[in-house]
Amino acid sequence: MSWPTDAATLCQDRFGLEICEAEGPLVSADQALALATALKDELDFRFFVHVVSVHYPEVEAIAADEEKGIDAIIGTPDHTMVHYRLRRLANPNRSTDTFAFRIKVPTGESTPSLSGVWLGADWQEREQYDLVGTVFSGHPDLRRIMMPEDWPGHPLRRDYAIDTSHFPWR
Amino acid sequence: MGVDQSNQNFEHPLFEYMEKMPGLDLAMTTADKILSWGSRNSMFVFPMATSCCGIEFMAAACGRFDLDRIGTIARGTPRQCDVMVIAGTITVKMAPRVKKLWDMMPEPKWAIAMGSCAISGDFYRDIYSVVPGVDTFMPVDVYVPGCPPNPDHLLEGFRRLQDKIKAKRAGEWVEPETRPVSGMQMPSVPRYGTDRDPAYDQAQLMATQNMGLGGELLAAGVTLPQPAPQPVQSGEGGDS
């Protein structure tokens, strides 16, 4: 899919980001708030579609070995990838468009909450914190929204044990 | 309470418990029988409908099956209800709320576990957030198995509950229902990363492409794509 040209130009010229065709630009956590504000105020992306976090466990780097037929694997640390998706609604000058960007958050660090820019991000960021464990700094009320308040761990992480005990059923 | 002997067309279920007095316009019964009849035929239902079984409960309450005609009227508050129908998957977060609503209902009260999720959790049983059966935290009188059960199965469940209430009121011993055992066999699919039998993959592929027709497509001469040849283990199966 192709992204709207004005948003792609803004990302490339002002923030120096490389646009990925499939998933949008990869934004650093420092730039996220400035980019979100620019997208909303200048380019009219006022409709917040979703935020989805995906957890990726740590991958150890493996060097290529032609004798054994092994391809090289690039090592990545344990992190979550936070995907944002936005939409602007049609007006007389412009048709409707979607735009997406993503933030890589290493485990133990946090990403700025965008609920100050889009109010609709509030509960969705709580859901991502609840299920995946991504910490959104500056969120007004970051607590669990779906699981019970005393639930241990974040169930959609890859390292979450399926037989984690919870009183009194397991 | 008068009984008109001349009008034979007028029948009432209460009459079978009455002893007609010859020559008098009177009938006698016991208070127990009257109470039993009343509680059997006015079971107000609290629909604890959390998922798709709730839709089937609504179908049972609508015109075609019409739960109201046997006196089971759905009410919106547990304070007015006699029977709780748990229709749907109960999650770990929902379970304390269900228990609280159950405790709010006045005695005497009964519970019907409708559908395999409420009975045992079914295939959501092993998920982190699902309670494996509501009888782990509250009593259940009647199990209505199915996924979801048809409205007539639910009506059959209410009839079993009526029998149970009748026997209890008459002071008879009622055998508690046991949780029905599912006939479903859990497939022993090896997890990712373990050794998978290539014959298993081939059988699964054929079953998928044959769409459960029991080999009709194969008999008709339709060829299926063959999986890539597996490397032969050294020391075993050296026939190739």
Q: Are A128 and A103 in contact (CB under 8 A)?
A: no
Average pLDDT, chain A: 85
Q: Which two tokens stand for residue B32?
A: 């127990």
Dmax of chain B from CA atoms? 98
pLDDT digits (tens, 9 = 90+) for A25-45: 999 999 899 999 999 998 888
A70: Cβ contacts below 8 Å, ≥ 6 apart: A62, A64
Are the beta carbons of B129 and A160 separated by less than 8 Å?
Answer: no
CA distance B165 to B169: 6
pLDDT at A60: 79
Residue B110 backbone phi and psi in degrees, to 5: -135, 160
User: Could you tell me which of A167, A117, A108, A110 has the C-alpha nearest to residue A135?
Assistant: A110
Domain extents in chain A: 5-137
pLDDT at B58: 92
User: Could you tell me which of B158, B49, B43 has the C-alpha nearest to residue B98?
Assistant: B49
Q: Are B78 and B51 in contact (CB under 8 A)?
A: no
Establish, for the pair of chains A and B, how many residue pairs have beta carbons separated by less than 8 Å: 20
pLDDT higher at A73 or B85: B85
End-to-end CA distance of chain A: 45
Position A70, amino acid? I
pLDDT digits (tens, 9 = 90+) for B126-150: 777 888 888 888 899 999 998 889 9
B121: Cβ contacts below 8 Å, ≥ 6 apart: B89, B130, B131, B132, B133
Q: Are B26 and B65 in contact (CB under 8 A)?
A: no
Are the beta carbons of A147 and B126 separated by less than 8 Å?
Answer: no
Q: How confident is residue B190, by pLDDT bands cut at 50, 70 and 90? A: very low
pLDDT digits (tens, 9 = 90+) for A152-163: 788 888 877 655
A49: Cβ contacts below 8 Å, ≥ 6 apart: A85, A86, A87, A98
pLDDT at A71: 75
The radius of gyration of chain B from alpha carbons, rounded to an integer in Å, stands at: 27
End-to-end CA distance of chain B: 91
Chain B contact present for A155, CB below 8 A: yes
pLDDT higher at B197 or A85: A85
pLDDT at A94: 76
In this complex, the residue of A155, A160, A162 whose CB is nearest that of residue B126 is A162
Are the beta carbons of B129 and A155 separated by less than 8 Å?
Answer: yes
CA distance B240 to A125: 57
pLDDT digits (tens, 9 = 90+) for A99-136: 999 999 998 899 999 999 999 999 999 999 999 989 99
* Probe site for chain B from A158, A169, A170 (most B CB atoms < 10 A): A169
Upstream peptide bond of B151 is cis (omega within 30 degrees of 0): no
pLDDT at A20: 82
Average pLDDT, chain B: 77
State how far residue B131 is from chain A, nearest Cα, in angstroms: 7
For residues B103, B106, B108 and B109, what is the CA-based torsion angle, rounded to 10 degrees? -50
Give whole-number Cα distances, B41 to B1, B166, B223, in Å.
19, 10, 61
Residues of A in contact with B131 (CB under 8 A): 169
Percentage of chain B lying above the pLDDT 70 cut: 64
List the beta bridge partners of residue A80: A55, A105
Q: Which residue has the tokens 């045992």?
A: B120
Q: Are A155 and A127 in contact (CB under 8 A)?
A: no
List the beta bridge partners of residue B47: B85
Helix spans in B69-215 (H): 95-104, 116-120, 151-169, 198-210
Q: Are A113 and A121 in contact (CB under 8 A)?
A: yes
Average pLDDT, integer, range A56-77: 79
pLDDT at B53: 92
pLDDT digits (tens, 9 = 90+) for A2-28: 888 888 888 888 888 888 888 889 999
Q: Are A7 and A36 in contact (CB under 8 A)?
A: no
Regarding pTM above 0.90, the answer is no
pLDDT at B13: 57
CA distance B87 to B56: 9
Are the beta carbons of A164 and B131 separated by less than 8 Å?
Answer: no
Are the beta carbons of B92 and A169 separated by less than 8 Å?
Answer: yes
CATH 3.40.1190.20 corresponds to the domain A5-137? no
Is the ipTM reported for this complex over the cut 0.85?
no
- The 3-state secondary structure of B16-37, one letter per residue: HHCEECCCCCCEECCHHHHHHH
User: Could you tell me which of B72, B3, B17 has the C-alpha nearest to residue B44?
Assistant: B72
